[in-house]
């Protein structure tokens, strides 16, 4: 059975008032249980990263391929010393700016994690989330917490407790409900084992922000054949209908044209749109994903929007696209995966 504990929606967590509930969650982690908890990016599914059988249960609950390593979550930067013998200077510089926050550092570890956490790699991804409930849980658990996104493998990551329940109810012990997550896309994953950081997955910390701190950042483009971040090779974030991306100055017109044509052929059409364009697509099932002029709102609503299509029963989805800059780079990375790279070209 899965228990859900609901927390108030205020920004700062009154740790003292809620310590009984958080302690219960921490004890579950310490005794090998699975606890879903909110972070600023998406909900994570946490287990003690040193407990092999607990970590194995994460893979089982998610239906996750075993060659895909998990991110380890810690409460403070200081705790890293216990797991990483030689934190690269590059990592230290980035941490000063971005941690706690939506960024994961891939570094060489010195052992101690359950084998399935690292999938046999000599590196591990470590992150300090910027969320009061997550930090309180990590502090009380007092063990490193392995936590992938708390969705069934292949489904969009969860940005609310009800998304977690949809995918994992009955399979995990506890869900800490802290409301809707603020960033909405996962953390940026950077490999800091070499002189120049390698961006493995765009996320909450933008490429522009990384460059502003360290100058050069290289972007891992070889993700199909031999991805350095194993998770990037799998189909992901996929809604049930077949999704096509639409771009160009005449994006709206192209969507209008193709949806009319496909509707005439008898297909149910979904359109992923934004506040600005929501009234432009007649007779289609539109899902609004934020406000184009406020990129953060698009990122925040993206996964909820993708999940909505599943309940609408559409055959084809045409999605508006965004420029490949700032947080939109992450949004486009996820949309490209959801659409398996397909663009509609007229």
The partner in contact with residue 200, picked from ligand TXA, Mg ion, none with C-beta cut-offs of 5 to 8 angstroms by kind, is ligand TXA
Q: Which residue has the tokens 């009955």?
A: 170
Nearer to ligand TXA, 230 or 292 (CB): 230
Nearer to ligand TXA, 131 or 285 (CB): 131
Size of the site for ligand TXA (CB under 6 A): 30
Q: In a 3-state reduction of DSSP, which class is residue 73?
A: strand
The partner in contact with residue 273, picked from Mg ion, ligand TXA, none with C-beta cut-offs of 5 to 8 angstroms by kind, is none
Residue ranges of the alpha helices (H) in the chain? Answer: 19-30, 52-62, 89-98, 115-118, 132-141, 161-168, 207-214, 251-264, 295-312, 326-338
Give the number of other Cβ atoms within 10 Å of residue 341's Cβ: 10
Closest distance to ligand TXA from the beta carbon of 191 (Å): 7
Site for ligand TXA in 276-315 (CB under 6 A): none
The partner in contact with residue 42, picked from ligand TXA, Mg ion, none with C-beta cut-offs of 5 to 8 angstroms by kind, is ligand TXA
Nearer to ligand TXA, 39 or 273 (CB): 39
Q: Which of 7, 28, 54, 69 touches ligand TXA (CB under 6 A)? A: 69
Max Cα separation, the chain? Answer: 63
Site for ligand TXA in 212-271 (CB under 6 A): 228-232
CA–CA separation, 247 vs 255, rounded Å? 9
Catalog residues that contact Mg ion under the rule CB under 5 A.
149
Contact 227, 301 (CB under 8 A): no
Nearer to ligand TXA, 100 or 290 (CB): 100
Nearer to ligand TXA, 161 or 200 (CB): 200
Nearer to ligand TXA, 187 or 259 (CB): 187
Instruction: Provide the pairing of β-strand 103-108 with 188-191.
Output: parallel
> Long-range contacts: 323-328, Cβ < 8 Å, 24+?
325/208, 326/206, 326/208, 326/295, 327/185, 327/204, 327/206, 327/295, 327/296, 327/298, 327/299, 328/295, 328/298, 328/299
Number of alpha carbons in the 13 Å side-chain half-sphere of residue 243: 26
CA–CA separation, 23 vs 21, rounded Å? 5
As given in the structure block, the two tokens for residue 1 are: 């059975």
CA–CA separation, 180 vs 222, rounded Å? 33
Closest distance to ligand TXA from the beta carbon of 61 (Å): 13
Point out the residue whose Cβ comes nearest to ligand TXA: 231
Could you say whether residue 124 binds ligand TXA (CB under 6 A)?
Answer: yes
Taking contact as CB under 6 A, which single stretch among the options 27-35, 144-152, 214-222, 263-271 is the one that binds ligand TXA?
144-152
164: nearest Cα among 255, 302, 62, 28 = 62
The partner in contact with residue 39, picked from ligand TXA, Mg ion, none with C-beta cut-offs of 5 to 8 angstroms by kind, is ligand TXA
List the beta bridge partners of residue 194.
Answer: none
Nearer to Mg ion, 99 or 149 (CB): 149
The partner in contact with residue 207, picked from Mg ion, ligand TXA, none with C-beta cut-offs of 5 to 8 angstroms by kind, is none
- The contact pattern for ligand TXA, residues 183-202, with x = CB under 6 A and - = no contact, is ---xx-x----------xx-
Site residues (CB under 6 A) for ligand TXA?
39, 41-42, 44, 68-71, 104, 106, 118, 121, 123-125, 127, 129, 147-149, 186-187, 189, 200-201, 228-232
């Amino acid at each position: 059975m899965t228990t859900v504990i609901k927390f108030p929606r205020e920004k700062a967590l009154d740790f003292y008032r809620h310590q009984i509930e958080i302690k219960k969650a921490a004890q579950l982690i310490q005794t090998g249980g699975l606890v879903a908890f909110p972070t600023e990016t998406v909900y994570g599914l946490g287990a003690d990263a040193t407990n092999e059988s607990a970590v194995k249960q994460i893979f089982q609950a998610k239906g996750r391929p075993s060659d895909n390593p998990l991110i380890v979550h810690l409460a403070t930067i200081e705790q890293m010393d216990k797991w990483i013998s030689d934190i690269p200077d590059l990592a230290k510089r980035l941490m000063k700016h971005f941690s706690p926050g939506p960024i994961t550092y891939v570094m060489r570890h010195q052992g101690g994690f359950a084998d399935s956490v690292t999938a046999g790699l000599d590196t591990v991804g470590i992150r300090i989330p910027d969320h009061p409930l997550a930090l309180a849980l990590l502090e009380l658990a007092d063990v490193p917490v392995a936590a992938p996104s708390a969705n069934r493998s292949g489904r969009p990551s969860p940005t609310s407790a009800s998304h977690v329940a949809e995918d994992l109810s009955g399979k995990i012990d506890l869900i800490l409900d802290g409301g809707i997550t603020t960033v909405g896309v996962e953390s940026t994953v950077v490999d800091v084992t070499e002189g120049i950081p390698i961006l493995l997955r765009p996320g909450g910390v933008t490429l522009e922000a990384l460059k502003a701190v360290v100058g050069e950042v290289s972007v891992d483009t070889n993700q199909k054949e031999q991805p350095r971040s194993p998770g990037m090779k799998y189909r992901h974030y996929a809604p049930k209908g077949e999704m096509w991306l639409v771009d160009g100055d005449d994006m709206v017109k192209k969507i209008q044209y193709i949806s009319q044509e496909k509707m005439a052929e008898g297909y149910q059409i979904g359109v992923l749109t934004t506040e600005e364009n929501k009234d432009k697509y007649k007779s289609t099932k539109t899902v609004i994903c934020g406000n184009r002029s406020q990129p953060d709102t698009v990122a925040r609503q993206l996964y909820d929007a993708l999940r909505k299509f599943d309940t609408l029963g559409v055959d084809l989805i045409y999605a508006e696209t965004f420029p490949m800059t700032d947080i939109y780079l992450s949004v486009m990375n996820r949309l490209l995966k959801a659409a398996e790279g397909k663009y509609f070209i007229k």
